[in-house]
Amino acid sequence: MKYQDVRFPSFIIPYGSSIVQMNDDPLVKPGIVVDEIAFVDELCLDHVEEMSENEELVRFMALCSLRNRDFDIPSAKMRLSKYLAWRKNAFGSLSDQKLSDCKVTQSQVVASLLYICPTRLPDGSALVYVRMKNHNPKEYETSQTIRYWHFIFLSAIKMDPNLARTGLTIVNNFAGATLENADLGVARGIVSAVSKCMPVRIRGINLVNPPWVFRFIIPIMKSLFSAKLGQRINVIVNLEDLTTVSNIPVTALPTELGGELVIEHPDILLSRLLELQFFV
């Protein structure tokens, strides 16, 4: 599944025509006209070596960086450069991460730690559902779990590039989790990648019913984030607060949290991604 083969719903700004009018996007000021292809070309001029290694990836991430930074060219250039440098450092190259070639990532998909819900929230973000109890630091190295998080996040952006601007809302269900499921190394790695490098916004982080022992760790977790993002971390004790405080509709919440969304079986999800020959 190549980047240019992605089909966008009608409300998503397509990447292909040279001039894009963004009047229909409620998150962008009306009347803004941008030449996306020209801006992508400009960003890629600074990455000749990277383009020779993986042109499709660089151009796609340039597009996402532009949207993530609201077409502020200097800011988008910095975000793209940071992402490419982070990816090369984390994975050794800019080669495509093919799900079919990575048995570890396949097994993590089946373990179902993360799930990107298909419906969009009122602010346009996608809900990332985390089952903390399904994280096993003893089975997977920190680097492998960071690679898995990156694959899931970038898969979501690849299927819906508008998420580079509208962002992700994380809901972490702590039901059944113990300290054995915690790995601050993964938390630090994800924070570093997402907040400083990946072209995606985190709209909010909702920690649902964390055991008391985890509540001593939460201040440490907050210290890993910027002050702005730290303010978006909510501890949810009553499930009703997910709808009343965090403004997440019941239709977008998994049934495990009292919502109406039935999560796709992980074996079916893996089969579908493999059938699509998915890579990021």
The enclosing domain of 239 has a CATH number of 3.40.525.10
Give the integer Cα–Cα distance in Å for 38 and 8: 20
Q: Are residues 109 and 84 in the same domain?
A: no
In a domain? residue 81 = yes
In a domain? residue 280 = no
Q: What is the 3-state secondary structure (H, E, C) of the chain?
A: CCHHHCCCCCCCCCCCCCCEECCCCCCCCCCCEECHHHHHHHHHCCCHHHHHHHHHHHHHHHHHHHHHCCCCHHHHHHHHHHHHHHHHHHHCCCCCCEHHHCHHHHHHHHHCCEEEEEEECCCCCEEEEEEHHHCCCCCCCHHHHHHHHHHHHHHHHHHCCCHHHHCEEEEEECCCCCHHHCCHHHHHHHHHHHHHCCCCCEEEEEEECCCHHHHCCHHHHHHHCCHHHHCCEEEECCCCHHHHCCCCCHHHCEHHHCCCECCCCHHHHHHHHHHCCCEC
Question: Which residues have C-beta within 8 Å of that of residue 120, sequence separation ≥ 6?
Answer: 126, 166, 252
User: For every one of its 280 residues, what pLDDT tens digit does the chain have, with 9 covering 90 and above?
Assistant: 443 333 333 223 333 333 333 334 444 444 445 678 899 999 999 999 999 999 999 999 999 999 999 999 999 999 999 999 999 999 999 999 999 999 999 999 999 999 999 889 999 999 999 999 999 899 998 889 999 999 999 989 988 888 999 999 999 999 998 888 888 778 778 877 877 889 998 898 899 988 877 777 777 767 767 777 777 888 888 888 888 888 899 999 999 999 999 999 999 989 988 887 777 8
Put simply, whether the predicted model's pTM sits higher than 0.85 gets the answer no
Please name which of 109, 140, 137 lies closest in space to residue 266, comparing C-alpha atoms: 109
What pLDDT shows up at residue 238?
83
Return the biggest CA–CA distance within the chain.
54
The domain in which residue 228 lies consists of 99-275
Q: Are residues 81 and 114 in the same domain?
A: no
Give the integer Cα–Cα distance in Å for 280 and 262: 26
What pLDDT shows up at residue 34?
64
Q: Are 61 and 84 in contact (CB under 8 A)?
A: yes
Q: Are residues 70 and 152 in the same domain?
A: no
In a domain? residue 264 = yes
Q: Are residues 152 and 16 in the same domain?
A: no
From the CB of residue 29, how many other CB atoms can be counted at a distance below 10 Å?
A: 9
What pLDDT shows up at residue 266?
92
Give the integer Cα–Cα distance in Å for 33 and 28: 10
In a domain? residue 38 = yes
- Counting the structural domains of the chain, the total is 2
